Structure 1
Amino acid sequence: MKKLSLSIALMIAAGAAQAGQFCELDGTEVFTCTIKGGTHGVEVCNAIWADGTKAAYGFFKSNGTVEKEILQDMATITATPWNGMGNFISESVTFESGDGYAYEVWWGGERTEGAVAMGGINVFKDIELIADLPCDDGTVYSDLSALIEMIEAAQ
């Protein structure tokens, strides 16, 4: 256990955002990546620690300081599953903060061996795109399909 804690501490000390800095380390993370050269990170998780069927969005700095947190009922999350066509798979989920802002977390990738997943966050204010934050290359982990299934079941 000490070895694991030391490894995590060294990764954080290196200045890169790490998975597990927002979601509880309980296997509920369905999307993670670093942004802006590892100075920020984003995580989406099945918020099993919250009452009801909810998902959580967290945007944080590499030191773990959370800049934006949204806990939302799955029945109210907008989900866009892959349409099943073409060689490019993409999915997204959109969290709304209640103040006119929405945060669309997306991932995509070619359906070819060795393809690297890409992803990011699109930030909207009153349905207008105001920021596009791409994930750092090679840092995307996504199982949004599982979350989308839970969202569809909740709706």
Structure 2
Amino acid sequence: MTIHSSHPFLPPPEDRNPLRRLRGSLPAPVSIWTSSDGARRDGWTISSMLVADGDPGELVALVNEDADWWDLFRTTGVATVNVLARGQDWISEVFARVAPSPGGVFRTGEWNDDDHGPRLVGASAWVSVRLVDADPGHAGWGLLVRATIESIDLADGVEALRHQGGLYA
């Protein structure tokens, strides 16, 4: 139950950061990048991502350098990019560390092990990637991470989840 008809801490429009408003107005893919090393598994939700066509193709992403997963990806050099499907928004929130998952993030959703990192059952796509540079530069506040695509597995007929204006669709 709430007594507010809108977000109680949202500043008035004239006080909001126009850059953040622009970013929020654009549709973004929702993915979870996962890596593993023996029994250690970790992952992170990433929406600032694009696909660069080429031979080989690449995924380019903005990564939070403070994420524990980033250290694991730098160590292993490989990851599975799980492109979430509609209805998997709660899993996105868990891996962004804004929603609880008692027992750890991999207790939310069903996961299968893969050579590049855990794969989320029911995702719309899985991309196996290899890190290009373990010491990338920054773009804004994030690391500008490039990863070459080694394989792509698409789930036919499964619509990808997207985020726009603070909502999932």
TM-score (normalizing by structure 1):
0.25
Higher strand share: 1
Highest RCO, 1 vs 2 (Cα 8 Å, sep ≥ 6): 2
The structure with the larger Rg is 2
TM-score (normalizing by structure 2):
0.24
